[in-house]
Amino acid sequence: MGQPELSALTHTLEQRFKHLETTLSAIQTEQRREAKAAARHRQRSARKLAGIEEASAWQLLISDLAYYGVVLGVVIAVDAYAFVVDTVPPWLKRYIPNLRSEARPAAVVFRPSDQTPLQRGEQVAGFPVSSPRGWRDIGDGREFHAGVDLETPIGTPLYAVIDMEVVCFEDDGGGGLVAEFALDGSIHKFLHLSECFAGQKSVGESFALTGDSGRSTGPHLDYRVKAGDQWQVPYRDLLAAVLMPVGKVPASAVSLIKAFEGFLPTPYWDEQRYSIGYGTPAGQRTWIDEPQAERELIAYATAANQTIDALIQVPLAHHERIALISFEYNTGGLRGSTLVEKLNRGDRPGAAQEFDRWIHGENGQELTALKRRRAKEREVFQGGR
């Protein structure tokens, strides 16, 4: 190969090496650019992620603060509410919406008398028990009597104890004409009637007249209570209220109860149940007007009055009865109480002192509202105004 050809080949190789260097340099430059871009992207992603995590942390903190703030607010509100309920004057309660009348144990006036069933010869609203609940001889055999029989003249009226729907029907099993209504998950039946007035009845309205219908041994009333498919012990207090005209409750007792209870048209929680109006059970209702609330007050006060007649064995002065009606309406605690025991022994000063024992709420704490009420009832019981 001559000199010219060698020079040309050398030049060509130099050109190719330069092109290769240029290509490699371009590739390295592109790689560095991509590496820088990737680094910038990673930095942006890291900053974005850090921002998200920081925002989430703040949101979690704010959420926790809000939660504990609500809990603290509820605790403070409950304490403040309890303080207001326990200290606000009775006359002011009626002007504070939804404020419950008193922190007090619920008074369940109509209740089963499981511990003290009615016995033969015992009187209810002046009518003697002729046949108690239990087994009895019938002809050559025995049968279980689910109800309690009272000797009532034909035509004795029965009164509605609450606003209620009365159903009337003839009993194929010998019960004659029957009236029934529902109360607190139980069905209350009244057998051997002479008249029954079906439909909606208001408190104090007559819904039936006693009689001698069906398979009967003579004029009487057979009262029974059924829950589901089980016969229950008849309600002593309800039976007394059904036989007691509403108007016999002293007006001064109604006034005393109103002064302590206050009127609330909407339900409020009352330790063991929701109450409404003047402290009577609310049931499923969301509203009550004052006239209806007064009728229910009178019905429950009537039951309290009949409980007093059934338990107290000594004559009562008018002011003593008023105080005891208010006490029983509020506590439902006369039956089995030391107060009744002392009163029946003639120890009136001792009975008066017993009022002061009934001043505790559900948790055993002394309540100012109950102390005021017991003090006033004791004062009325002893002849004060």
Q: For 370-381, what is each residue's pLDDT tens digit?
A: 999 999 999 999
Would 11 be classed as within a structural domain?
yes
Q: Are residue 197 and residue 262 in the same domain, yes or no?
A: no
Supply the CATH number for residue 214's domain: 2.70.70.10
Question: Looking at residues 25-29, what average pLDDT do you find?
Answer: 69
Q: Residue 136: which pLDDT band, with cuts at 50, 70 and 90?
A: confident
Of how many residues is the chain composed? 385
Question: Looking at residues 263-277, what average pLDDT do you find?
Answer: 88
Q: What is the pLDDT of residue 164?
A: 86
Q: Are residue 83 and residue 94 in the same domain, yes or no?
A: no
Of 205, 238, 202, the closest CA to residue 221 belongs to 238
**Whether residue 276 has pLDDT greater than 80:** yes
Would 354 be classed as within a structural domain?
yes
Q: What is the number of structural domains in the chain?
A: 3
pTM listed for this prediction = 0.47
Q: Which of 234, 261, 282 represents a domain boundary (last residue)?
A: 234
DSSP class of 220: B
Question: Looking at residues 217-222, what average pLDDT do you find?
Answer: 93
Residue type, 348: R
Q: Are residue 372 and residue 254 in the same domain, yes or no?
A: yes
Q: Residue 90: which pLDDT band, with cuts at 50, 70 and 90?
A: very low
Which of 77-91, 92-106, 279-293 ranks highest by mean pLDDT? 279-293
Q: What is the pLDDT of residue 104?
A: 37
Q: Are residue 322 and residue 264 in the same domain, yes or no?
A: yes
pLDDT tens for each residue of 296-346:
898 889 888 888 988 999 988 888 999 999 999 999 999 999 999 999 999
Tokens of 157: 């009226």
**Whether residue 132 has pLDDT greater than 70:** yes
**Whether residue 133 has pLDDT greater than 80:** yes
Question: Looking at residues 117-143, what average pLDDT do you find?
Answer: 85
Q: Residue 13: which pLDDT band, with cuts at 50, 70 and 90?
A: low
Q: What is the pLDDT of residue 223?
A: 97
Q: Are residue 137 and residue 212 in the same domain, yes or no?
A: yes
**Whether residue 196 has pLDDT greater than 70:** yes
Question: Looking at residues 169-188, what average pLDDT do you find?
Answer: 92
Q: Residue 67: which pLDDT band, with cuts at 50, 70 and 90?
A: low
Q: Are residue 221 and residue 256 in the same domain, yes or no?
A: no
Q: What is the pLDDT of residue 53?
A: 58
**Whether residue 71 has pLDDT greater than 80:** no
Q: Are residue 258 and residue 374 in the same domain, yes or no?
A: yes
- Percent above pLDDT 70 for the chain: 70
Task: State the CB neighbour count (10 A cutoff) for residue 42.
Answer: 10
- Percent above pLDDT 90 for the chain: 38
Would 116 be classed as within a structural domain?
no
Share the mean pLDDT of the chain: 80
Question: Looking at residues 67-83, what average pLDDT do you find?
Answer: 59
Would 3 be classed as within a structural domain?
yes
Tokens of 59: 């949101």
The answer to whether residues 209 and 194 touch, using CB atoms and an 8 Å cutoff, is yes
Return d(Cα 24, Cα 318) in angstroms, integer. 119
Would 240 be classed as within a structural domain?
no
**Whether residue 363 has pLDDT greater than 70:** yes
Would 58 be classed as within a structural domain?
yes
First-to-last C-alpha distance (Å) of the chain: 146
Q: Residue 202: which pLDDT band, with cuts at 50, 70 and 90?
A: confident
Q: Residue 195: which pLDDT band, with cuts at 50, 70 and 90?
A: very high
Residue 22: domain span: 1-87
The three-state (H, E, C) secondary structure of the chain, written as one string: CCHHHHHHHHHHHHHHHHHHHHHHHHHHHHHHHHHHHHHHHHHHHHHHHHHHHHHHHHHHHHHHHHHHHHHHHHHHHHHHHHHHHHHCCHHHHCCCCCCCCCCCCCCCCCCCCCCCCCCCCCEECCEEEEECCEEEEECCEEEEECCEEECCCCCCEEECCCCEEEEEEEECCCCEEEEEEEECCEEEEEEEEEEECCEEECCCCEEEEEECCCCCCCCEEEEEEEECCEEECCCHHHHHHHCCCHHHCCHHHHHHHHHHHCCEEEEEECCCCEEEECCEECCCCCCCCHHHHHHHHHHHHHHHHHHHHHHCCCCCCHHHHHHHHHHHHHHCCCCCCHHHHHHHCCCHHHHHHHHHHCCECCCCCECHHHHHHHHHHHHHHCCCC
Q: Which of 174, 202, 234 represents a domain boundary (last residue)?
A: 234
DSSP strand pairing (274-277 vs 206-210): unpaired
Tokens of 341: 């025991």
